[in-house]
Amino acid sequence: MRARAAGLLLGFLADAVFGDPRRGHPVAGFGLIAAGLERRIHADRRAAGVVHAAVLVGGAAALGALAERAGPRVLVTAAATWAVLGGASLAGHGASLADELAAGELVAARRRLPSLCGRDPDSLDAAGMARAGTESMAENTSDAVVAPLFWGAVAGVPGLLAYRAVNTLDAMVGYRSPRHLRFGWASARLDDLANLVPSRLAALLFAALAPAVGGSPRAALAAWRRDARAHPSPNAGPVEAAAAGALGVGLGGRTVYAHGLEERPRLGRGPAPTPGDLRRAARLSRLVGAAAALVAAALAAARP
């Protein structure tokens, strides 16, 4: 368990220093495999999606178990943690988007936005991109940093790889598009389950660290209690509401995705986020990630 804890911390530091691997990213490779399997077995039935998710998530977990037995646990855990985390690139894109919006460089901002979220950048003005970026910083801090660290602490390398497989499949087929409404059901529900605990941990960390960006823990907790249940996602709701309260901004509203238009509920009671608020969100994301790494290491080390 001490080796697992050390590996998680080393992997987090590698992500913070080096960011994502520049070539041959394992998550991108998994995405290609997942897309290839989807082309072979896709059908407009939930059963087909269950098979798709089971093969890919089960395969990722099995690969993790083999890797954990094959090499030094500290190094294998560190490498797997680095591969599945996305905290440095997330915060970097958020800060860069804030700079581009503040400078009025909307073309560059629209090119960058897809690196943060799946919304249509051409449908958004500067204010819309600031809101999209801020919401994405909150949700993806949970999905790409807190949750993988949590599952790494609980289940080691198999947990790291299986969680990243679940979250990637949700991003690929979990949206309610006509093609994936039934086929993606299993992946979406599995992602909801996998993020049930980590999202609440992320929301708590957003609230606890609010003073570091000039915010209030009380406001963050109040927004979580008051607004989270109105969000269509059981896990994005607590995280985005807590982040909105921590930053003192209001999130939600008209949201355009490739699969259609959604009207999201209002989260928080402050004004719409500005580029400055987005920059604060990026800083808060880094702090939450660091705190989550310490919590995960402590959890791993404390396990018998």
Task: Write out pLDDT tens, residues 12-44.
Answer: 999 999 998 777 788 989 999 999 999 999 999
Tens of pLDDT along 146-179?
999 999 999 999 999 999 999 999 999 988 788 9
303 pLDDT above the threshold of 80: no
**How high is the pLDDT of residue 253?**
80
Tens of pLDDT along 125-149?
999 999 999 999 999 999 999 999 9
Average predicted confidence (pLDDT) for the chain = 93
Which 8-state DSSP code applies to residue 256? E
Of the listed ranges 61-70, 167-176, 242-251, the one predicted with least confidence: 167-176
**How high is the pLDDT of residue 259?**
56
The SS3 assignment for 182 reads coil
Residue 112 half-sphere exposure, CB side, CA atoms within 13 Å? 24
Which of these, 157, 227, 169, 221, lies nearest to 194 by C-alpha position? 169
Cα distance between residue 19 and residue 241, in whole Å: 27
304 pLDDT above the threshold of 80: no
**Which uninterrupted H or E stretch holds 36?**
helix 26-41
Which token pair is 6? 């050390």
**How high is the pLDDT of residue 256?**
64
Residues in Cβ contact with 202 at an 8 Å cutoff, skipping those fewer than 6 apart: 141, 142, 146, 147, 238, 239, 242, 288, 292
257 pLDDT above the threshold of 80: no
Place of tokens 């958020």: 94
DSSP string, 246-295: HHT--EEEEEEETTEEEEEEEESSSPPPPHHHHHHHHHHHHHHHHHHHHH
Cα distance between residue 60 and residue 151, in whole Å: 13
Tens of pLDDT along 175-223?
878 899 999 999 999 999 999 999 999 999 999 999 999 999 999 999 9
**How high is the pLDDT of residue 61?**
97
N residues, the chain: 304
Annotated domain spans of the chain = 2-302
**How high is the pLDDT of residue 258?**
58
**How high is the pLDDT of residue 297?**
97
Q: What is the mean pLDDT of residues 236-247?
A: 97
Tens of pLDDT along 75-117?
999 999 999 999 999 999 999 999 999 999 999 999 999 988 8
Q: How confident is the model at residue 261 (pLDDT cuts 50, 70, 90)?
A: low
DSSP string, 103-143: TT-HHHHHHHGGGT-SB-GGG--HHHHHHHHHHHHHHHHII
Which token pair is 29? 């490779």
User: What is the rounded end-to-end Cα distance, in angstroms, of the chain?
Assistant: 7
Q: What is the mean pLDDT of residues 277-303?
A: 96
**How high is the pLDDT of residue 178?**
86
**How high is the pLDDT of residue 118?**
76
